[in-house]
């Protein structure tokens, strides 16, 4: 009959249309009553709705669920994220193409934290620090954000930020957490300071300068057998040494503060526990010149990381993720892979590149700028590369000979300056 409204095809059909959003249901009723045509209209309008949601800024829920899962796996302050795992995570983020401004506060926080841990794993302390400050601005009391920020402060050698974060974390810490925070506060005290100017001469007469570093980072392990390092720390230190033992941009040295009567015991301990890097035995348990008088090292574990400018970048234990990330960042920066970050003291004083004295910096600010880059000589560069290869393969005598030749035969070049830095940092300044 003309004007008669068609009855629903079935109760189920009516219920089915009632379950869809109102704007879609209204659109469906505008089409003829044929089941096939209504189904086609439903598909078209759902697609239009999804497109409108995307344009409005909504993110696919499936991707957000995957982000949450990735965050749970990556953002772990108690473990060191491997470079390989970080790369896989970075690839996933690139696939998703998430836009932070279109995310909820929680999802944006998860995205920032994942990006931060990726930066830490790669050794990009500058990027990690930038992300940490953004996190703290948006989530100043979030536990996960605070822990991520602490790791970033460790990697960058920012004692001021680390102290602030530790203070905030201490408000909710209990039991064992408080003891760990107390230890971390003691470690942070020396970060950002100029390293004591001493030369560490090991058993085989190798010398390590703490301030004339050239291109190399220095990791010092302070230890003794009266309070021996725990197995977790020794294992982590061995793994760290194994990872970097062939890297030209970092050196390892151990400093033992046992009495002379315990030297044989200490040497046996080092051999039995795989402390294969070069060792200095001070033969003094009280007021040892390097351990106590120069570095004021506390009870082991007490590892100190010195950057290429002779500043203390980190103090801690090799089993602490923050210390490992500091090593990665300092070495990556020495290699020129990422933006250089200078450490900062608890008081907020930031180290100067090259360790220039205040009067030198004043001259530079007044307009007495240092000369431009030195010229490079192809023959000198070839010799410098060969000398580095000799160092890497243990041919120290051959390496030293080439360095000396470069300094003598190619004065005023970039290669001569680098060769002199190697000579000063490895064999000591004349």
Give the tens place of pLDDT for each residue, 285-315. Answer: 999 999 999 999 999 999 999 999 999 999 9
Grade residue 19 by pLDDT with cuts at 50, 70 and 90: very low
Q: Which of 170-184, 265-279, 413-427 has the lowest mean pLDDT?
A: 413-427
Mean pLDDT of the chain: 84
Residue 428 has a pLDDT of: 63
Residue 131 has a pLDDT of: 97
Give the C-alpha separation, 214 to 387, whole Å. 15
Note whether 347 and 188 are within 8 A (CB). no
Give the C-alpha separation, 240 to 82, whole Å. 12
According to CATH, the topology of domain 82-188 is 1.25.40
Grade residue 384 by pLDDT with cuts at 50, 70 and 90: confident
Residue 27 has a pLDDT of: 47
Question: Residue 210: how many CB atoms within 10 A of its CB?
Answer: 23
* Position 30 pLDDT exceeds 60: no
Note whether 159 and 315 are within 8 A (CB). no
According to CATH, the topology of domain 378-427 is Methane Monooxygenase Hydroxylase; Chain G, domain 1 (1.20.58)
Give the tens place of pLDDT for each residue, 185-227. Answer: 999 999 999 999 999 999 998 999 999 998 899 999 999 999 9
Q: Order the strands of the 250-256 sheet from edge to edge.
A: 279-281, 250-256, 217-223, 302-306, 312-316
According to CATH, the topology of domain 199-310 is Glutaredoxin (3.40.30)
Residue 194 has a pLDDT of: 96
366 compared with 194, residue with greater pLDDT:
194
**Model pTM?**
0.72
**Euclidean distance between the first and final Cα of the chain, in Å?**
112
Residues of the chain with CATH 3.40.30.10: 199-310
Residues of the chain with CATH 1.20.58: 378-427
379 compared with 62, residue with greater pLDDT:
62
Residues of the chain with CATH 1.25.40.10: 82-188
């Amino acid at each position: 009959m003309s004007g008669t409204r068609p009855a629903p095809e079935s109760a189920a059909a009516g219920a089915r249309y009632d379950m869809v959003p109102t704007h879609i249901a209204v659109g469906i009723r505008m089409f003829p009553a044929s089941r096939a045509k209504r189904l086609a209209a439903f598909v078209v309008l759902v697609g239009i709705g999804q497109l409108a949601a995307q344009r409005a800024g909504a993110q696919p829920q499936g991707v957000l669920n995957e982000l949450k899962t990735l965050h749970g796996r990556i953002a772990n302050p108690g473990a060191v994220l491997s470079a390989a795992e970080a790369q896989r995570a970075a690839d996933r983020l690139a696939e998703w193409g998430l836009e932070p401004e279109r995310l909820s506060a929680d999802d944006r926080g998860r995205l920032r934290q994942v990006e931060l841990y990726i930066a830490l794993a790669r050794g990009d302390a500058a990027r990690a620090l930038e992300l940490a400050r953004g996190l703290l601005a948006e989530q100043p009391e979030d536990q996960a954000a605070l822990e991520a920020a602490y790791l970033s402060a460790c990697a960058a050698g920012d004692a001021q930020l680390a102290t602030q974060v530790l203070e905030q974390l201490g408000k909710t810490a209990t039991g064992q957490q408080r003891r760990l925070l107390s230890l971390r506060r003691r470690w942070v005290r020396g970060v950002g300071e100029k390293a004591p100017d001493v030369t560490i001469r090991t058993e085989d007469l190798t010398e390590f300068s703490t301030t004339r570093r050239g291109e190399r980072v220095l990791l010092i392990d302070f230890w003794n057998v009266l309070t021996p390092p725990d197995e977790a720390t020794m294992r982590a230190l061995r793994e760290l040494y194994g990872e970097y033992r062939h890297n030209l941009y970092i050196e390892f040295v151990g400093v033992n503060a046992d009495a002379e009567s315990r030297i044989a015991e200490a040497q046996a301990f080092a051999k039995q526990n795989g402390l294969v890097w070069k060792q200095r035995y001070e033969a003094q348990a009280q007021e040892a010149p390097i351990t106590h008088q120069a570095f004021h090292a506390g009870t082991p574990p007490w590892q100190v990381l010195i950057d290429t400018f002779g500043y203390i970048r980190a103090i801690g234990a090799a089993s602490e993720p923050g210390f490992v990330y500091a090593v990665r960042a300092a070495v990556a920066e020495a290699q020129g892979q990422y933006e250089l970050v200078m450490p900062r003291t608890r008081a907020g004083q930031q180290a100067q590149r090259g360790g220039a004295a205040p009067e030198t910096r004043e001259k530079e600010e007044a307009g007495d700028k240092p000369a431009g880059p030195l010229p490079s000589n192809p023959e000198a560069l070839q010799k410098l590369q060969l000398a580095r290869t000799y160092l890497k393969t243990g041919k120290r005598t051959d390496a030293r000979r080439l360095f000396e030749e470069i300094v003598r035969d190619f004065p005023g070049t970039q290669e001569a300056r680098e060769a002199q830095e190697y000579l000063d940092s490895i064999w000591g300044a004349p």
